[in-house]
């Protein structure tokens, strides 16, 4: 189907002096933008802030290897190459989710929320997914690839497995949304959090207060294990603290969360 290509020059020129996005690699079709970004970092010595954007991914993926469905010319799929210190590596997921929330708010005026740890949601559906891949060599972080998918103008819910609710910005706003404006806003907001240590405290607080998961009954699955209980809070590393039915507490570093009534 014909589609309107992303206006990469518009985005690139607006980010010419920004820490992220001053170089954008724009491709029609890839396996995944994370694959290309990883190759750029490992084989071609990509500089920090390189952004890889693709109209279509043949093997796009989210957390736990789940496929990420995105319509060409309608949504956004991109990855960012970063060289974080150890402290920043653990915080990238939180920083990215807050950057996406701020960008959505800025471009559309809508007020998103989060499902732990980093699903950005609107109207009860997932509008953005985030994936972080870190390469470590001799105990040091070599690079990190931050992958972000945003449903801008096409709602993929009809192509997803039952039980996984999704939506898009245009559906929630009632109007088409500029992909260029969203991409620019995300990269600007992410750059502000990532490169300014003083911005981390605000980002952390915003992440915590936006978690719709807290105070609710949840089911968390990780591998073959399942934990159920009340989402009590998060610790200083962003892990979920769950209170089981017997009153005991367990700290979960990762997992697929299902919100219960």
Domain ranges across the chain: 8-209, 217-259
Which DSSP category does 199 fall into?
G
pLDDT at position 197: 57
CB atoms within 10 A of CB 38: 20
pLDDT at position 208: 93
Q: Do residues 177 and 162 lie in contact, with contact meaning Cβ atoms separated by under 8 Å?
A: no
pLDDT at position 63: 54
What average pLDDT score do residues 12-29 get? Answer: 93
Q: Which of 1-5, 70-74, 88-92 has the lowest mean pLDDT?
A: 1-5
CATH of domain 217-259: 2.30.30.100
| Spatial CA neighbour of 213 closest among 240, 250, 183, 253 | 240
Residue 250: CB partners within 8 Å, gap ≥ 6? 227, 229, 241, 242, 244
What average pLDDT score do residues 46-50 get? Answer: 91
pLDDT at position 260: 78
Q: 242 pLDDT exceeds 60?
A: yes
pLDDT at position 66: 59
pLDDT at position 142: 87
Q: 85 pLDDT exceeds 70?
A: yes
Label residue 62 by pLDDT band (50, 70, 90): low
| Spatial CA neighbour of 197 closest among 106, 87, 101 | 87
Residue 46: CB partners within 8 Å, gap ≥ 6? 37, 40, 81
**Top mean-pLDDT range of 58-62, 164-168, 233-237, 240-244:** 240-244
Q: 74 pLDDT exceeds 60?
A: yes
Label residue 31 by pLDDT band (50, 70, 90): very high
Label residue 111 by pLDDT band (50, 70, 90): very high
Q: 1 pLDDT exceeds 60?
A: no
Q: Provide the mean pLDDT of the chain.
A: 89
Q: Which of 20-29, 113-122, 215-224 has the lowest mean pLDDT?
A: 215-224
- Answering whether pTM is above 0.85, one says yes
CATH of domain 8-209: 3.30.930.10
**Same-fold call for 8-209 versus 217-259:** no
Label residue 65 by pLDDT band (50, 70, 90): low
Q: 140 pLDDT exceeds 70?
A: yes
pLDDT tens digit string along 152-171?
999 887 665 555 689 999 99
């Amino acid at each position: 189907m014909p589609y309107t290509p992303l206006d990469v020059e518009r985005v690139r020129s607006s980010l010419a002096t920004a820490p992220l996005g001053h170089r954008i690699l724009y491709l029609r079709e890839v396996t995944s933008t994370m694959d290309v970004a990883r190759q750029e970092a490992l084989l071609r010595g990509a500089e920090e802030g390189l952004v890889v954007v693709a109209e279509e991914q043949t093997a796009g993926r989210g957390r736990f290897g789940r496929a990420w469905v995105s319509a060409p010319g309608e949504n956004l799929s991109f990855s960012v190459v970063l060289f974080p210190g150890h402290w920043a590596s653990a915080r990238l997921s939180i920083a990215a989710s807050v950057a996406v929330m701020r960008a959505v708010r800025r471009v559309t005026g809508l007020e998103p929320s989060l499902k732990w740890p980093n699903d950005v949601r609107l109207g009860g559906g997932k509008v953005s997914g985030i994936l972080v891949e870190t390469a470590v060599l001799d105990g040091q972080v070599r690079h990190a690839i931050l992958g972000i998918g945003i449903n801008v103008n096409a709602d993929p819910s009809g192509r997803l497995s039952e039980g996984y609710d999704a939506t898009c910005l245009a559906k929630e706003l009632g109007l088409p949304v500029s992909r260029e404006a969203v991409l620019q806003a995300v990269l600007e907001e992410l750059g502000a959090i990532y490169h300014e240590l003083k911005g981390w405290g605000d980002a952390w607080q915003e992440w915590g207060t936006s978690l719709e998961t807290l105070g609710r009954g949840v089911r968390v699955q990780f591998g073959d294990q399942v934990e159920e209980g009340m989402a009590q809070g998060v610790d200083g590393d962003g892990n979920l603290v769950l209170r089981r039915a017997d009153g005991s507490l367990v700290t979960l570093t990762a997992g697929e969360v299902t919100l219960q009534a």
